[in-house]
Chains A and B, each alone.
Chain A
C-alpha cells in the first residue's frame, strides 16, 4: 500500500500532477477521433441496411413495372360471314367455334404480303401471342353484329416481341441515313461515298474486339496447357515409381485422359490462333468488302415501308437480304440504319422478326396497353397470358381458413393462459411450448402438415384447407403472444370492479376485459396474417406448388398462393417471367404493406394508455 502511494500519482499541487493532465490532454484528440469513428460505424451500418433496402426495392420495381403493360398490335381483321357463321345461325356456340386463329394470322400475313415461304410466315405469326385468337373471339362474341364487317382488333404480341419492344432483348440504335439511296430488286443498296461508312467502321471495330477476345483465350489456353504438362510430368513419374498393379492402371488412365485433354486444348489453340490473325488482319485492312455473320451485331436498313438486312458492307454499298420488300424503289425517300447490338444467335427473335416489328411500329400499329390479363387470369406457360388472380384467390382462401381457425383459438388460449390458468406444471409446459413454436423453422410445420394432415388424415393435396391448417399452427404463437400482451395491458381495476359488482370471472372477461383488449389482439392477428401471407416454405411441403391454371372456387380446390407463384415464376426461363415475378412481388408487398398499415392504424386509433 505504502509503495503505491509513494510511486503512484503525486499529491495534488505537486509538479507531477501537471504531467497527468498533459497526458490526458494529449490522448484526448485520439480519444475524440475514436469516438467519432465509432459513431460513424453505427451510421454506416444503418446506412448500409437502408441502402440495401433501397436497392432491393428499386430492382424489384424497375424489373416489374413493365409487366403492368403489354404490347398490343392493331390488325384489320375482315370478319367474313362465310368464315365465322356460314349458315348465319347467329348461335353463339357456332360463332365461338370459328377458326379465329386463322383469321388473326391471315390478317397479319395480309399486312406483310412480301413475306413468303413456310418458315418465314410461321416466324411472322410467331410474333403474336398464342392467346391472340381468344382475344379476337371474345371481341366477336361480345358483339356478334360485327360479323360481316372489318374490325380493328387489338391483340397481344408474344412475350418475346413484348420484351424486344420494352428494350429488354437488345440495345437498338437508329441513325438516319445520309443522302439518297439507290435500290435494286435483289437488295443491293448504294448511296453516297460514305453512306455506310459508320457501319463499315463498326464492323472493323467488332473484328478488333473479337481478335482481342481470341488473344485472351489463347493466353488462357496456354496457361492451361502449362498446367496439363506439369501434371503429365508428375503422373508419369508416379507411374514409374508405382509398384502396385492397381495404382499403375489408375495412373495410366489419368495419363491417357490428360493426353486427350492436351490434344483438345491444342486443337482449340490452333483454331483460336488462326481466328485471331484472321480477325486482326480483317480489322486492320482498310479497303474492300466485309461479310457480317450471326455472332456480330445486326444491321437493318429501313426505307419506303421496307426492311433490308445487311449481309456485306463496303463504305458506300451494301448487299442485303430483303426482310420485307419496299413499296417502291424510290431513291429519294428517307432511310434509316437500325443497329441491333446483341448478335442474332444470342436472342430469341431473329433479325427478320425484329424488322417486321419495326415496320409495325413505323406504321403505328403497336401500342402499349394496360396488361389486364395479369390481374384477371391464372397461371400459364405463356408469360403474356399468365396472371396472378388464381394465386391471389388461393391466398385469399388460405388466409380465410387461417383466420377463422387461428383468431378464435389464439384469443381463447391467450385468455386462458393470462386470466384463468393456475400456476402449475401443465401451464408452464404450455408456455414453454408456445415460446418454442414461435421459433421453430416454418418448413418443419410443412413436414408436420405432410405427415399428419395429408398422410394420416388423408386431406387433399394442394388445397387451401390444408395450407390454412398449417399456417394456423404457425401463426398461433404470434397471435397468442400479442393477445396476452393486450390482455396484460388492461388494468386489474377493471376486472376488480366487474367482480365487485357480482359478475362471474367469465362475465368480467367477456363483458369488460376482452372488448378493451380487442384492438391489441386484432393488431397481433393482422401481423400474424401478414406473416402467413408471405410464407412459402411450409406450403411447398403440402403440394401447393402445382401448376394450376384454374381459379380456385373454394378452400378444397387445388390452389397456389402468391408467394409460391412468385417462387414458380422465378424458376421459369423466359425473360418475360422475370418481369412478371417482380410485378407479383410488387403486388404481394402491396398487400403486406396495406395489412401492416392497418395494424398500425388500429393500434394508433384504439390504443388506450392506462
Chain B
C-alpha cells in the first residue's frame, strides 16, 4: 500500500513540475508564448517527464531487486548450520521468516534464530523502502532542476516530448511480443525441467497417467506415471462431442441468418444468440455439472446404460453450446462475404435457394467455414472451466462418451491448485501440458487465420 502512496507522491511532484516548467518557460519568454519555440504546455510536459520518468525507472528497478537482495542479506545473517541446509529447506525457513515478519502465525513456536532473522528482515525491508522513497523523490527533484536549467525559449520542447511519447507508444505495442515471449519462455523453461526428470517420449506416448509423487520412498504407487496419451484422447473426445453439437447448429443458424432471415428477425435473434458467447464459462460449467450431467445419467439409467456422473458427454454437449455462437458468427461473416453475382447466377439458372446455398454458396465459402471451425476447435481444446467442473479427474483411455475422461486443462488446474513444489515433476507436468496446449492452439489458429485470409483475397 505504501508503494501506492509513493507513486502518488511522484505523480504529484510531476504535476507540480508541469506547472513549474510551463510557468518558467512563459516567464523566460516574457509572458509572450509567441516567442517560444513550442506551446508553453510542452515545456511543462518536458519538465514533468524529466521529473517522473527517472523516478519511476528507479522505483521499478529497486522493487524488482529489493526482494532478492534483502533475502540474501537475511540468509547471510543466519547461523552457519542453517546455511548448510538444502535449497528447499532454506526456502521453508525463508517462508517462516516472511510469515513472522508479516505478523502471521507459524506452525511451530519460532526458533529464536528465525525470530531474530524476521526482525532483521523487517528492518531491512523498512530501510529499503525508505531508501527507495528518498532516492526516487530525490531523482525526481534532480530531474526537475536539470530540466529547469535547460529551459529556454529556444528549447525544442515539443520535439523532445513527442520523441518520448513515440518511445512510450512503441513500448506499449511491444508488450504483445513480450507477453508471447514470456509465455513461450516460461513454459519451455519449466517444461524443460520436467523433461529432465521424465523423458519426452514417455510423456508423449505413454498410456498411463497418474501424477502422484510419493511422500515416502516405500509408499504404494510411489513412482508417478506421466504418459499423457489418455489426457490427449480425453481432450479430443470432449472437443469432438462439442463440435458435433456446435458445427451443425452453428452452421445451420448462420446459413439461415445470412440467407433466409429478414433484417428484422436478424436484428432481434442475432444479439440474443451472442448472449450465449458472453456467458462466463464458469456458468456453463455449473449448468453442465448440476443440470445436464444428472439428466444424461438418469436418461442412461432408464435405457439401461452405465453412465458415469462426470461423463464426457455432459461436458462435451455444454461446451458445444458455448461454441455455437462462435461458429455461427464467423460462418455468417464468410457466407455474407460470398459475392451476390454467384448466387444470382445460380438462381437465374433455375436452382432453388437451398440448391444455390448447397451447391454454390457453401463451396465458395468452404475455406472460411473450415477456418472458423478450426478456430472453434482451438477454443474447445483450450476451454477450462466447463471441463474442470463437469469432466472427470481420472485419466481413462476410452472412446465411450458415457465414461468419465479428463482433459489437458483439467489436469493443469488439478496439478497447480493447492500446494506446489517447483521441483517435483507433478507440478512441472502442468507446464509441459501447458506447452502442448499452447502450441496446438497456436498451430490451429495460424492455420485457420491463413485459410481465412487466403480465401478473403479471392473475392475482395
User: Are the CB atoms of B378 and A457 closer together than 8 Å?
Assistant: no
The verdict on A128 contacting chain B, using a C-beta distance below 8 Å, is no
The verdict on B384 contacting chain A, using a C-beta distance below 8 Å, is yes
Beyond A50-B272, A504-B158, A504-B162, whether A439 also contacts B378 by CB under 8 A is yes
User: Are the CB atoms of B282 and A563 closer together than 8 Å?
Assistant: yes
Nearest-neighbor residue (CB-CB) of A533 within chain B: B280
Tally of chain A residues near chain B (CB < 8 A): 88
Nearest-neighbor residue (CB-CB) of A472 within chain B: B175
User: Are the CB atoms of A35 and B280 closer together than 8 Å?
Assistant: no
Which chain A residues border B325 with CB–CB below 8 Å? 49
Q: Digitize B156-178: 1 where CB-to-A-CB distance is under 8 Å, 0 elsewhere.
A: 00100010011011101111110
Task: Report the stretch among A87-95, A231-239, A588-596 that lies at the interface.
Answer: A588-596
Please, how many angstroms separate the alpha-carbon atoms of A534 and B289 in the complex? 18
The verdict on A263 contacting chain B, using a C-beta distance below 8 Å, is no
Task: Report the stretch among A253-261, A272-280, A413-421 that lies at the interface.
Answer: A413-421
Other-chain residue from B174, B289, B449 in contact with A430 (beta carbon distance below 8 A): B174
The verdict on A311 contacting chain B, using a C-beta distance below 8 Å, is no
**Which residues of chain B from 168 to 202 have any CB-CB distance to chain A below 8 Å in the complex?**
168-170, 172-177, 179-180, 182-183, 186-187, 189-190
User: Are the CB atoms of A480 and B280 closer together than 8 Å?
Assistant: no
Which chain A residues border B190 with CB–CB below 8 Å? 451
Which chain B residues border A430 with CB–CB below 8 Å? 173-174, 176-177
Please, how many angstroms separate the alpha-carbon atoms of A408 and B422 in the complex? 35
User: Are the CB atoms of A49 and B352 closer together than 8 Å?
Assistant: no
Which chain A residues border B352 with CB–CB below 8 Å? 31-32, 34-35
User: Are the CB atoms of A596 and B278 closer together than 8 Å?
Assistant: yes
Which chain B residues border A537 with CB–CB below 8 Å? 281, 384-385, 388, 409, 413
User: Are the CB atoms of B169 and A441 closer together than 8 Å?
Assistant: no
User: Are the CB atoms of B282 and A536 closer together than 8 Å?
Assistant: yes
Q: Digitize A423-438: 1 where CB-to-B-CB distance is under 8 Å, 0 elsewhere.
A: 0000101100111110
The verdict on A41 contacting chain B, using a C-beta distance below 8 Å, is yes
Please, how many angstroms separate the alpha-carbon atoms of A408 and B173 in the complex? 11
**Which residues of chain A from 385 to 432 have any CB-CB distance to chain B below 8 Å in the complex?**
408-410, 412-413, 415-417, 420-421, 427, 429-430
Nearest-neighbor residue (CB-CB) of B350 within chain A: A24
Which chain A residues border B358 with CB–CB below 8 Å? 38
Beyond A441-B437, A448-B182, whether A46 also contacts B269 by CB under 8 A is yes
Q: Digitize B366-384: 1 where CB-to-A-CB distance is under 8 Å, 0 elsewhere.
A: 0000000001001101111
The verdict on B349 contacting chain A, using a C-beta distance below 8 Å, is no
Nearest-neighbor residue (CB-CB) of A28 within chain B: B352
User: Are the CB atoms of A412 and B168 closer together than 8 Å?
Assistant: yes
Nearest-neighbor residue (CB-CB) of A56 within chain B: B287
Which chain B residues border A563 with CB–CB below 8 Å? 280, 282, 385
The verdict on B441 contacting chain A, using a C-beta distance below 8 Å, is yes
Beyond A32-B352, A436-B442, whether A566 also contacts B169 by CB under 8 A is no
The verdict on B412 contacting chain A, using a C-beta distance below 8 Å, is yes
Please, how many angstroms separate the alpha-carbon atoms of A66 and B425 in the complex? 46
Please, how many angstroms separate the alpha-carbon atoms of A45 and B375 in the complex? 20
The verdict on A267 contacting chain B, using a C-beta distance below 8 Å, is no
The verdict on B249 contacting chain A, using a C-beta distance below 8 Å, is yes
User: Are the CB atoms of B176 and A434 closer together than 8 Å?
Assistant: yes
User: Are the CB atoms of B409 and A441 closer together than 8 Å?
Assistant: yes
Which chain A residues border B276 with CB–CB below 8 Å? 49, 52-53
Nearest-neighbor residue (CB-CB) of B168 within chain A: A412
* Smallest CB separation, A79 vs chain B (Å): 36
* Smallest CB separation, A407 vs chain B (Å): 11
User: Are the CB atoms of B173 and A53 closer together than 8 Å?
Assistant: no
Which chain A residues border B324 with CB–CB below 8 Å? 49
Nearest-neighbor residue (CB-CB) of B328 within chain A: A49
State the 8 A-B residue pairs at the shortest beta-carbon distance, nearest first.
Answer: A441-B382, A42-B256, A534-B280, A45-B252, A451-B186, A412-B172, A38-B354, A416-B169
15 A-B residue pairings within 8 Å (CB atoms): A421-B173, A427-B173, A441-B383, A443-B382, A451-B187, A476-B179, A505-B162, A506-B165, A533-B280, A537-B413, A541-B413, A556-B1, A563-B385, A567-B285, A581-B286
**A contact residues vs B (CB 8 Å cutoff):** 24, 31-32, 34-35, 37-39, 41-46, 48-50, 52-53, 55-56, 59-60, 63, 408-410, 412-413, 415-417, 420-421, 427, 429-430, 433-437, 439-445, 447-448, 450-452, 455, 457-458, 473, 476-477, 480, 504-506, 530, 533-537, 540-541, 545, 554, 556, 563-564, 566-567, 570, 578, 581-582, 585, 588-589, 592, 596
